[in-house]
Amino acid sequence: MPAEAVEFQADILAIAAHRDDVEQTCGGTLLRMAARGLRTAILDLTQGEAGTRGTASDRAREAEEAARILGVGWRQALDFADGAIANTLDNRIAIVRILRRLRPRAVILPYWQARHPDHAMVAALGYESCFLSGLTKIATDSAPHRPFKIIYASLYADVRPSFVVDISPFIEQRHLALMAYRSQYANQSAGTGLFVAEEEIRERTFAEARHYGLLAGVRYGEPFVQKEVGLVDDLTLLPVQSI
């Protein structure tokens, strides 16, 4: 969907390195937030030109379909170097322009330790961009804006989550959004040693969501980490049973 088609402001913006990262790590959460009436958006930082499978144009079409399934109101991909995302001032300013246009209250970033260097880089790049976005003397076309909350999608990280979002009602839609990327996940000769067989994807992704759901006392969940402490007003309303 063209970014310039409508003026849109988001409550929640997920920033990721590649098209399909969001679908894997926080797609169910975006579905849940949209169902609550919140405005959701996705910013992919690369076009996917370095991927083993498919082309950038394939992934653009697939990302549009996935966005429709996820119910997001806005999605755009920048043209940072796929496989070599750099934390440069130019790249930070490019993200600042998006943050100031969309003005999200919450931003979802990849967890800062990751197998793929792009994912770890985006965690730092996204955080620094959120900070710069609030500085008055950083000049762009839009007024300064600093998101209130930054959280990290930690599905593939070996870390205890700060909290889990219950995605049980949305698990099937989440899977459909991921499988919209036929160029990536349909069985094919390219990348057979790197990619999970198509018939195993559902079992693996559901098992991961089931694991995190069990930690939180629900059927399926997505995990997140926040760096700051939480604040509780009423101990009797804390969710998740202890015993």
- Cα–Cα nearest to 34, from 63, 4, 1, 74: 74
**pTM, rounded to two decimals:** 0.92
CATH number, domain of 59, equals 3.40.50.10320
Q: Which residue has the higher pLDDT, 122 or 194?
A: 122
Q: Is residue 28 part of a domain?
A: yes
Range of the domain at 26: 12-226
Q: Is residue 220 part of a domain?
A: yes
Q: Which residues pair with 30 in a beta bridge?
A: none
Domains in the chain: how many in total? 1
**Residue 7 pLDDT > 90, yes or no?**
no
**Residue 82 pLDDT > 70, yes or no?**
yes
Determine the pLDDT at residue 184: 79
Q: Are strands 163-166 and 106-110 parallel, antiparallel or unpaired?
A: unpaired
Please say whether the beta carbons of 12 and 41 come within 8 A: yes
How many CB atoms neighbour CB 131 within 10 A? 15
Q: Is residue 170 part of a domain?
A: yes
In degrees rounded to 5, what are phi and psi of residue 78?
-85, -175
- Return the SS3 of 177: helix
What is the rounded CA–CA span in Å between residue 128 and residue 134?
A: 10
Q: Is residue 236 part of a domain?
A: no
DSSP structure class, residue 103? -
Q: Is residue 232 part of a domain?
A: no
For the segment 185-230, what is each residue's pLDDT rounded down to a tens digit? 876 666 566 677 888 999 999 999 999 999 999 999 999 999 999 9
Determine the pLDDT at residue 118: 94
What is the rounded CA–CA span in Å between residue 16 and residue 80?
A: 11
- Cα–Cα nearest to 181, from 102, 63, 70, 87: 63
For the segment 132-154, what is each residue's pLDDT rounded down to a tens digit? 999 999 999 999 999 999 999 99
Q: Is residue 57 part of a domain?
A: yes
Q: Is residue 198 part of a domain?
A: yes
For the segment 156-178, what is each residue's pLDDT rounded down to a tens digit? 999 999 999 999 999 999 999 99
- Cα–Cα nearest to 102, from 121, 75, 70, 65: 75
Q: Is residue 234 part of a domain?
A: no
